[in-house]
Amino acid sequence: MKVYYSEDHRLHFPQAELSGGQFVTPYERPSRVEYVLQRLQERGMRDIQNPGPVDMAPIHAITAPDYLGFLETAWAEWKAAGMEGEIIAASVPVRRTQLARVPRNIDGKVGYYCLAQETAITGGTWRAALSSAASAQAAFSHVAGGARSAFALCRPPGHHATADMYGGYCFLNNAAMVAQMFRDRGAARVAVLDIDFHHGNGTQDIFFERGDVFFASLHGAPEDAFPYFLGYADETGHGAGDGANANYPMLPGTGYDLWSQALDSAIARIKAWGAEALVVSLGVDAFKDDPISFFKLDSPDFIDAGRRIGRMGLPTVFCMEGGYAIEAVGINTVNVLEGFEDC
């Protein structure tokens, strides 16, 4: 399987994340990529390439122009306002707040576009996010050219980013962008399967009222897990998208027996729906030792999950999402890919 990634991911490395009431080194850090690359090499998956220049058109297709403008200029505005540290939202819209007006002050503007305050913006975030999107675009082009699959080692990840908000370490929604690219290339129906522990709230938000992209997510119950406010089983789509959204929230302590049943159900729904192409939001934070998750999957389980996905027989692009047990992230990620290739 061909792999795409960019060294520009290193440009995004916030020095702090607010977690448990204190500032810690972010769980989403550059070393995650190093462990995945190392494991790919160990397992003989050495067809690893840098992507070409990013194409902004597919990004614009699923992202609000004002939000893109914010991401591009936020750091310069922040510094021009005399701010010394990294960009962290301090004031955010809350329930019963008028949401229609973007503040002029950069501090307020940051809060307007932010959905989770653990995610900081640095001077290199915009370039890193574009390089992540470029990796996803290159993986798509490889599959659209006739390959069975490709893996975009995206960093920063993307599935929490909506059309106009960032958070959960995500700025641009790579999986949603690739799904749109499949549609634009002629696929009548496309599915996004999100196996990250955390609900893909951004992807759901982008496609919730559309009937051409089916979204299925396996994740921690929103009563107990980030991002908290979306991901309930009764969220099935709206309008043209009614029936094209399937959530599988699961409780703390969920093991592979229950999780794999949810995966099989999601796969059956995708097949019955008639998907012609598949995008997998490949998070491996359902792992038993992940520091910010509560499922109990073991490393061999990811091989079996990959096999089940592979048996769907669809052209597939994998986009890297979460996984924060750093020393196991490479093993678990490559296990999914190898399981897929076994089919």
Q: Report, as residue numbers or ranges, the catalytic residues.
A: 160
Ordered alpha helix ranges (H), the chain: 31-42, 56-62, 65-80, 106-113, 125-144, 174-184, 201-207, 256-273, 299-310, 326-341
Query: Which tokens sit at 323?
Result: 């996984």
Helices and strands in the chain: count of H runs, count of E runs? 10, 10
Pairing of strands 245-250, 213-220: parallel
Residues 6+ apart with CB under 8 A from 203: 159, 173, 175, 176, 192, 194, 215, 217, 281
Nearest residue to 88 (alpha-carbon basis) of 67, 106, 69, 66? 106
User: How far apart (Å, rounded) are the C-alpha atoms in residues 79 and 81?
Assistant: 5
What is the crossing angle of helices 125-144 and 65-80, to 10°?
A: 150
